[in-house]
Structure 1
Amino acid sequence: MPSVSRRFARTDQRFLRPSSKRDDSLRAPVVLMVSGGADSTALLLLAATSELDIDDGRGTARIARERLHVLHVNHGLRGLDAQEDEEFVRELSARFGIPCTVRRVDVAGLASEEGLGQQAGSNVENVGREVRYREATELANRLCREVDVPRSAARILTAHTADDRAETFLMNAIRGSGPSGLSSIPRRRNRIVRPLLDRTHEELCDLLRMRGIVWREDRTNADTRYLRAFVRHEVMPLLRERNPRLTSGMSASCDILSDEDAYMNQVASRTYRELMRRSSPTMVALDGARLAACEVAIARRVVRKAMLAVCPDARLEARHINRVLSLVAAGSGSASTPMGCDARMEYGLLFVRAQGEKSGPLALWLDVPGSVSLPDGRWLSARLAQVPAGSSPEAVARAHAVEWDGQSVLLDAEACGLDLAQGGRLWVDAAAPGDVMCPLGMHGQSKKLSDLLNEAKVPAADRPQVPVVRTYPTGAVVWVAGIRPDERVRTLPRTRLLLELGVGRD
């Protein structure tokens, strides 16, 4: 029995762990994303002098000054104005004693490289946003390492307001977004927290005026070529004429939509896992019949998850999802999305694949004994073995086939042109038009390889990656890997040397 002191030592450690975790949350860095505009300037002011709810379990509370760190990203889009914004943020941070990191990024250059036919203004906005969050993530990670706390304990604060949320709702509605887009800006996503979502832009401006703090105005915010500026200056004023409380009303609606969207995503994620039949980094196969039986609201989300799983950067619209669902309902057909993925219904399964992610051509020699790596990431192996003394070669081969369930076979090595002394090699490629074989079990009858693959329900897109083992490049088929060996190389009572062929994945 352990001593009393040892038992208490373990008890002390158990009670210390929650306290240690709480200490992490109180020491973790808080990155403030500050552009120099009114909203982000107010965020800096409030973080330094007042209380904020940063969703760390403490509610509305003061943030220790040593945890704060300002990040300013200079997009290089506005020349001298951008430089003056940078200097303003540096001086304001120094005024409150908060460290400031500045990053300069050529956003216009990145946008032109990634434009691919999009509207220039929209793409600059998108790239700028991605750059800001990337830089904030890198800074937060570095600061976590410096104070030795988990990355998850850090917080990245943005200055989004209730006005931003309403504008984003309308922007996404104009684009034809689904429920996730109409949920608008969430209060929290992982480490990113938006503590000012319940405040309006005008309220924050009033706060700054009361404190005697000026801010920078970005002239591009008035350029209605940008969708947000168009909504802000052209659409919102008209709507406020009908409803002066528009912003608060829309914010409440966004909260409701966000909660319901989160619940629907949980259901869809569970359904997605249940329907998945095959998967790889560039392919997902779902049970088509069960998907067709799902409620359409869930089916849409499941299809979206599948498409984003293989094409994370796919620009999906409602019409793309609906097109795929029409294939599922019909039980056949194919569809593609721009810069996205291909979807095809075959053999009762919905196959979703990344465009342009085809494996290389299958054509190689397999040394016997030896193994080779296949273009799709699998391996193919071969070895020779003598028939065990007193054993029936046919019985040994049948038992092997049952044990390995088609992933490995035992054949007559001599019938394949191999011998124990010299070994040899076999040719491996894919089925070609006109290829025939005599599948084992058909008593010498021939069959086209295309028919054999069709009966095995191998999708057309996957057939070029099914290894076909031959005696030599133009020789007879020995084994269609994982499907069927040839009758002419099966083990017989007179077989003396066995060829074991196997296919698998590490």
Structure 2
Amino acid sequence: MFSKFQNHLVSGFPFLVEKKLFLAVSGGLDSMVLLHLVQQLPYEIAVLHCNFQLRGLESFDDRDFVQQYCDENNIKVFITQFDTEAFAKDYKLSTQVAARELRYSWFYELLETEKFDYILTAHHADDNLETFIINLTRGTGLDGLTGIPEQNDKIIRPLLPFSRDEILQYAEENNIEWREDSSNASNKYLRNKIRHDLIPVLKEINPNFLNAFQKTQSFLQESQEMVEDASIMIYQQVAKEEGEDIHFDLNQLKKLPNYKSYLYQWLNEFGFLAWNDIYDLVEGQSGKQIFAEEFRLLKNRETLILSPFSGANESEEYQITEKDSEVNFPLKLKLCQVDDITIDSNKAIFVDAEKIRFPLVLRKWNEGDAFHPFGMQGKSKKVSKLFKDEKLSLIEKEKTWILCSDNQIVWVIGIRQDERFKIEKTTNRILKIELQ
């Protein structure tokens, strides 16, 4: 197994040479074999161990076992402990999910503080099979059937090609000691039930089942790569990125016979869950929207607009004093006195400085806001009507800021200046306000 493992690292992960590697070691069979294998190779390593305090004294015995092994082998070790059950309760998570959140958060923190490059974990082929079956029973797309990735960002799983039987045989041949996790014998957890009850039946039906599964998963991964390639090509035809937003052309999208699959591929990573609602949105009424935790999908005429969503308070106001020549938040504005007017875009306005009353106020627009649009000879108009005339989407409306002087609108920023502050023949001082 050692030669096979060494060749796998050289061919699959050549970039690990001269890198600093953490090994996640629980003290169990898989992680102790991983540690033993990597010890024989010319890598700079250190060990990470988490005590989740879920099995009483047994958890602390695991900690002491890992500590003793590292001391005897002159390996640097980092150990932490978590009140996992309290964390799970506070954040309404399952114990297993809570442990994973705590573990990987700590892993990435140490990567940063200790200046290490990667973390190796001991997931193997049987773990991959169990994950596949779990995802299958819960209902999943192709992503859920392609298995545990060998590399996910800084996490590397070099034992994935190896079975539990191979790992056990290597441990016995090399007299490797390990700690048995008593919870692995219980069917309390779904993974254990699959491990103890279902997989033995599958292997009884086909003694070569694990190899057959690995071939199947390889085919699924190739199919997934084809899907991703097609998704990228179609995305370039249908989607247009505008700042932080993505606009999907529904006229182009609906020409595709399987557009729902493309939408899933594009939107899945943004945390959306209500897929039937999203598919209905394509034919839905303009103005309807669907929310994920941090993103929103809006139907705007013949476009779907994906944009970041924040529940932040939009009623805040920001003051601009007479001394301010620049504003950097929430928008970037530049204020300066000039001698001439050079209007070349809607990104700047020129106003009579003597008509302005400081401090100016920068705020989001409100329903009922009205102003006197430049060029309309003093006629009043609601800002909402301006938005309608400009055919702004809901998202564009929400992003629009208003600049006010003494409760009067000076500028619907980036769209229209107010007539009341315009330059006239009697103007002595011209103030230029520019959106950067």
User: Which residue identity does 1:171 align to in structure 2?
Assistant: I
329 and 253 in structure 1: CA distance in 2 versus 1, 3 angstrom threshold: farther
- 2:246 corresponds to: 285
Q: 1:469 to 1:96 in 2, by over 3 A?
A: closer
The structure 1 residue matched to 2:343, chosen from 398, 401, 414, is 401
For residues 225-374 of structure 1, the aligned pairs below 5 Å read 225-265=188-228, 268=231, 275-280=239-244, 284-289=245-250, 290-292=252-254, 295-305=259-269, 307=270, 314=271, 316-317=272-273, 320-330=274-284, 332=286, 333-337=288-292, 339-354=293-308, 356-368=310-322, 370-371=324-325, 373=327
1:133 to 90, 99, 104: 104
Q: CA offset at residue 85 of structure 1?
A: 1.3
Residue 423 (structure 2) aligned to one of 474, 488, 491:
491
Given that residues 358 and 405 in structure 2 are in contact (C-alpha distance below 8 angstroms), is that contact kept between their aligned partners in structure 1? no
What code does the residue aligned with 1:83 have? F
The 1:371–1:351 alpha-carbon spacing in structure 2 relative to 1, beyond 3 Å, is farther
Equivalent position SS for 2:207: coil
Give RMSD over aligned pairs.
3.3
**TM-score, normalising length from structure 2?**
0.82
Per-residue CA deviations over 1:280-324 (Å, capped at 9, x if unaligned) read 4xxx3323435555644333222224x2xxxxxx4x44xx24432
Would you say the 8 A contact 2:294–2:310 is kept in 1?
Answer: no
Decide whether the 8 Å contact of 2:320 with 2:327 is kept in 1. no
Aligned position for 1:19: none
Cα offsets for 1:233-271 (capped at 9, x unmatched): 233234334333222222222223234434544554676
Q: Distance in 2 between matches of 1:69 and 1:427?
A: 56
Q: Match of 1:231, as an amino acid? A: I
Deviations 1:199-236 (A, max 9, x none): 22123223323333343221222333322123222332
2: distance between equivalents of 1:426 and 1:47? 65
Q: Which residue of 1 aligns with 2:32?
A: 41
CA distance in 1 between partners of 2:216 and 2:79 (Å): 36
- For the 8 Å contact 1:343–1:350, the answer to whether it is kept is yes
User: 1:7 — aligned with what?
Assistant: none
Residue 424 of structure 1 and its aligned partner are, at CA, apart by 4.5
Structure 2 Cα separation of the partners of residues 219 and 42 of structure 1: 19
Provide the rounded CA distance (Å) in 2 between the counterparts of 1:41 and 1:225: 25
1:51-450 matched pairs, under 5 angstroms = 63-64=41-42, 67-94=44-71, 96-115=73-92, 118=93, 123-140=94-111, 145=115, 154-265=117-228, 268=231, 275-280=239-244, 284-289=245-250, 290-292=252-254, 295-305=259-269, 307=270, 314=271, 316-317=272-273, 320-330=274-284, 332=286, 333-337=288-292, 339-354=293-308, 356-368=310-322, 370-371=324-325, 373=327, 377-387=330-340, 396=341, 400-402=342-344, 405-414=345-354, 417-418=355-356, 424-450=358-384
Residue 124 of structure 1 and its aligned partner are, at CA, apart by: 1.9
What is the CA–CA distance in structure 2 between the aligned matches of 1:485 and 1:72, rounded to whole Å? 62
Q: What amino acid does structure 2 have at the position aligned with 1:401? A: I
The secondary structure found in structure 2 opposite 1:27 is coil
Unaligned runs of 5+ in 1: 1-21, 50-62, 146-150, 308-313, 388-395
TM-fit CA distance, 1:139 = 4.3
Alpha-carbon distance, 1:443 to partner? 4.7
State how far apart, in whole Å, the 2-side matches of 1:159 and 1:486 are.
66
Deviation of residue 80 (structure 1)? 0.8
SS in 1 for 2:282: helix
Once residues 394 and 28 of structure 2 are traced to their aligned partners in structure 1, the CA distance between those partners, rounded to angstroms, is 55
Task: Confirm or deny: 8 A CA contact 1:158 1:193 kept in the other structure.
Answer: yes
1:287–1:350 Cα contact (<8 Å) kept: yes
Report the 3-state secondary structure (helix = DSSP H, G, I; strand = E; otherwise coil) of the residue aligned with 1:499.
Answer: strand
Q: Secondary structure at the match of 1:77?
A: coil
8 Å CA contact 2:374–2:419 kept in 1: the answer is yes
Distance 1:262 1:365 in 2: 52
Contact 2:27–2:179 (CA under 8 A) maintained in structure 1: yes
Amino acid at match of 2:247: L
**Aligned partner of 1:479: which letter?**
W
Q: Distance in 2 between matches of 1:424 and 1:213?
A: 77
Q: Is the 8 A contact 2:130 2:195 kept in 1?
A: yes
Q: What CA deviation, in whole Å up to 9, does each residue of 1:97-117 have, x standing for no partner?
A: 5443322222223222222xx
TM-score w.r.t. structure 1 length?
0.72
Aligned to 1:463: 397
Per the TM alignment, residue 334 of structure 1 is displaced from its structure 2 partner at its CA by 1.2
Could you tell me whether the CA contact under 8 Å between 2:248 and 2:305 is conserved in 1?
Answer: no
C-alpha distance in structure 2 between counterparts of 1:85 and 1:424, whole Å: 67
3-state SS of paired residue (1:330): coil
Instruction: Please give the per-residue CA displacement for 1:400-444, whole angstroms capped at 9, x wherever unaligned.
Output: 332xx2110123445xx24xxxx7544444433333333234455
Is the alpha carbon distance of 1:371 and 1:158 closer, same or farther for their aligned partners in structure 2, counting shifts above 3 Å? same
**In the TM superposition, what is the alpha-carbon distance from 1:167 to its structure 2 partner?**
0.5
Contact 1:469 1:479 in 2 (8 A): yes
Secondary structure in 1 matching 2:169: helix
Supply the AA of the counterpart residue of 1:411.
Answer: V
Whole-Å Cα distance in 2 between the matches of residues 47 and 365 of structure 1? 60
* Distance change >3 Å, CA 293–CA 126, structure 1 → 2: farther
